Structures are given as C-alpha cells and as structure tokens.
Amino acid sequence: MSTLESLMTSPMYSSALLAGLAVVTMCGVLSVFVVVKRLGFVGQGVSHSAFGGVGVASLLAVMLPAAFAPHDGGGGMGELLQFGVIVVFCIATALGMGLMSNRRTLPADTSIGMFLVGSMALGAVLVHVSREMARSRGQSSLVQSWESILFGSIFLVTRDEMYGGWVIAALVLGVAWWFRRPLLFWVLDEESSSAFGVPAGAMKGTLMVMLAVAVVVAMKLAGVVLATALLVMPGAIALRLTQRLWPSVAISVMAGIIGLIGGLLLSLRLDWPPGPSVVLTLTVIFALASCIVWMSTRWARPALVGEPVR
C-alpha cells in the first residue's frame, strides 16, 4: 500500500500520475476509433515521425540557441518550443499520410511506411548534423536524450507539463465531442458520407490531427516505440467486452486508467521502466478480457456487457 500512497502523495509521482491520466483519458476515447478504422499503423507512423521532429528541433536549437536554451529550473520555454516543433512535425506527417493514402495509386500502408522511414532517416541525419554543428561552435547539445524519446520518461514530467497535458487532452476531447455525430457518421460509412453532405475530408483531417496530438503527448508517457499501444490496446480491450458505442468508450478509458495505475505501481515497486510497465499491464488486461470472453462463449453464457436485452 505504501507504493500506492507514495504514487498519490509524492509531488513527483503525483505529477506523473495526473499527466498519465490525461494521456490515457484522451487516448482511451480515440482508441475505439483507431481500432475500428484500423488506424493503428497510422499511430505508429506518426510516433516514429517524431524523430524527424526531434531532428528539426535539434537543428533549430543549434541555430537559435537563445530561443531553445533551458531556463532556470529546467523545462521552460526551450522544452516547450522543442515540444511544439515535434507536434507540428507530427501533425504535418499525419496529414501527409492521410492525403497520400487518399489517392488510389498508393496503398495506405505504403504511404505510412514511407513517411515513417523517411522522417526517421531525416531525424537521424539532422541530429547528426546539429551535433557536428554544436561541436564546431563549442555548444553543448541542447536536445533531450534518445532514450527518453524512445521509451518516455513519465516520472520526469513537471507540474507545468502535467497541466499542459490536461489542457491538450481537454482540447482534443472537446473537439471529439463537438464533432461526435459527423465523425461517427464518417467512421461508420466513409464511402457514402459525402453524399449525405458530411464534410468527409474535414472529418478525416480532424481525426488525423487528434491522433497526431494524442500520439505526441502519449510519447511523454510511453515513448516513440510504445505510444501506439495506448491508442490501440484500450480500444481493443473494450471491443472485446461490448458491442455498444458509449459503453465501449467508457471501458476503453477505464482500461487505460487501470493500465496506467497498475503500470506505475509495478514500476515503483520493482524499479521497472514506467512506459513498458504500463503497456505490459494493458497487455495482461487484454489477455484477461479475451479469456473472459472465450470462457463465456464456451459455456454459452452472455458476455459481461453483451448485446442489450430486448
């Protein structure tokens, strides 16, 4: 219990917990749509394209050291600016992938794959170039380490970043709520939505931007490699357990929250890295949900939250 207490009360851990809650709430809502629309690979593409954003940010940091310099007490404008560059880069990539896969000549997975490797290559080259430039100018490297980008660093989240995370989550959830009906129409029936007057292109773009923002924020928690898990696993768990719309969104968010708290507790108790611990917990929840469904169908009992009884 002491681990749970310290997670709640210690300022550092509680920032991590609250920031994580913002991430899993936002991702949990989007997750249902990611799973239904098979956008998991898009999430993967967007998160990996963050390397390109890191490359651009580190080049800018060398060229404009004043703007990117960390302020007293760490974080501050430099971090924020760097985060902004990564967000813009990821959104641009997401929209690019969306536009390219629109064309019948290029399958979606090919276009996503090209953006993924293209921006990773760009990131690697730009980080190298900026390090060389920094060395020749006698500056220190100003950009965060690869490891924290790869696997996240939730326990290093500051209070301000946590508030920022909630603002972003509130914005994304607000947009999702505002467009819920046309968005659902588009998700259900992309082909004929425009014949009904639904702004199909705008809905696709909105979902892509929300996805990109969610992935970038999720990277703070789980890193590039595992960010997609937060957009895929909660929805997958929810759709195992229910075939109803709003219950599935609620279960998805709840699965995310349980995965987050369980993962952070594991991480504190056993000194495991937090991001992978959260993802592992979600994997276990998915396995449990699958087991429950398998057993309930095997013994011909209704699923936990199955079809509504008429």
Binding site for another protein (CB under 8 A): 32, 35-37, 177-182, 184-185, 187-192, 194-198, 239, 242-245, 247-248, 307-308, 310
C-beta of 194: minimal distance to another protein in Å? 6
- Cα 247 to Cα 230: distance, rounded to the nearest angstrom: 18
C-beta of 148: minimal distance to another protein in Å? 35
Q: Which is nearer to another protein, 35 or 261 (CB)?
A: 35
Q: Which is nearer to another protein, 212 or 249 (CB)?
A: 249
DSSP per-residue codes, 138-193: TPPP-SPPHHHHHH--GGG--HHHHHHHHHHHHHHHHHHHHTHHHHHHHHH-HHHH
b/e burial code for range 15-52 (CB count within 10 A of at least 16 → b): bbbebbbbbbbbbbbbbbbbbebebbbbbbbbbbbbbb
C-beta of 241: minimal distance to another protein in Å? 10
Reference 141, options 128, 156, 154; nearest CA is 128
Q: Which is nearer to another protein, 92 or 175 (CB)?
A: 175
Q: Which is nearer to another protein, 188 or 287 (CB)?
A: 188
C-beta of 193: minimal distance to another protein in Å? 9
- Cα 22 to Cα 149: distance, rounded to the nearest angstrom: 19
C-beta of 82: minimal distance to another protein in Å? 34
C-beta of 270: minimal distance to another protein in Å? 36
Q: Which is nearer to another protein, 177 or 294 (CB)?
A: 177
Q: Which is nearer to another protein, 57 or 241 (CB)?
A: 241
